[in-house]
């Protein structure tokens, strides 16, 4: 039979191990940086911002184009590249295909190809070293870099939750 002191010591050890569970998300994010980047790229390729909403302005509303004809011509050109761009999507089930006039923030690839992530503690920052990154980010209301709610759910369900369950199971087995 275990003494009260033994029970208290065992509970304290259990509590300390459980406290480490809070760091699981940070460790999983650090270990899966490429996945977080691919989720952000997929959002862009499917025309979504960090809120999961369609990127705006769309081509026909973009003040960059001097005429509606120029906007339509650009949208048509991008539409012809759609299958090539969609081939880059790594997690296609998160969002439906974007409307034709919605940007996907890719033409030849250097903006998305130069994306990077910094994970520090419980936060992460995604950006790109591409020269026009500040202009692109500003144009889309600084909602280009980051993980949308839908992508967060995907990442949690497929990466964080399994690790959480594994760790918790180990703790429960250890302390019964």
Q: What is the mean pLDDT of each run of 10 residues along the chain (176 residues)?
A: 79 77 84 95 95 96 94 92 84 88 88 93 91 95 96 95 88 75
Which residues fall within 8 angstroms of residue 13, CB to CB, at 6 or more apart? 175
Q: What is the pTM of this model?
A: 0.85
Alpha-carbon distance of 75 to 78, in angstroms, equals 5
What does the pLDDT read at residue 33? 95
CA atoms within 13 A on the CB side of 16: 6
Alpha-carbon distance of 124 to 117, in angstroms, equals 7
Give 119's DSSP letter: E
Output phi, psi for 136, to 5 deg.
Answer: -65, -45
Secondary structure element (H or E) that encloses residue 125, with its range: strand 123-128
Residue whose token pair is 């509590």: 15
What does the pLDDT read at residue 103? 95
Which residues fall within 8 angstroms of residue 58, CB to CB, at 6 or more apart? 99, 101, 102, 103
Alpha-carbon distance of 150 to 158, in angstroms, equals 12
Query: b/e map of 56-68 (b: 16 or more CB within 10 Å)?
Result: ebbbeebeebeee
Reading phi first (left if > 0) and then psi (alpha if -120 to 50, else beta), residue 146 is in left
What does the pLDDT read at residue 176? 65
What does the pLDDT read at residue 3? 83
């Amino acid at each position: 039979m275990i003494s009260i002191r033994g029970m208290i010591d065992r509970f304290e050890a259990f509590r300390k191990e459980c406290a480490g569970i809070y760091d699981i998300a940070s460790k999983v994010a650090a270990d899966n940086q490429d996945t977080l980047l691919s989720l952000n790229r997929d959002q862009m390729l499917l025309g979504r911002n960090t809120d999961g909403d369609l990127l705006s302005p769309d081509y026909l509303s973009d003040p960059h184009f001097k005429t509606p004809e120029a906007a339509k011509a650009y949208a048509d050109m991008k539409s012809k590249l759609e299958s090539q761009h969609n081939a880059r999507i790594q997690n296609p089930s998160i969002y439906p295909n974007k409307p034709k006039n919605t940007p996907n923030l890719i033409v030849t690839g250097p903006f998305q190809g130069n994306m990077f992530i910094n994970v520090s503690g419980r936060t992460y920052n995604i950006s790109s070293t591409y020269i026009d990154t500040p202009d692109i980010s500003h144009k889309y209301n600084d909602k280009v870099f980051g993980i949308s709610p839908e992508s967060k759910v995907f990442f949690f369900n497929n990466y964080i939750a399994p690790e959480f369950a594994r760790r918790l199971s180990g703790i429960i087995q250890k302390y019964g």
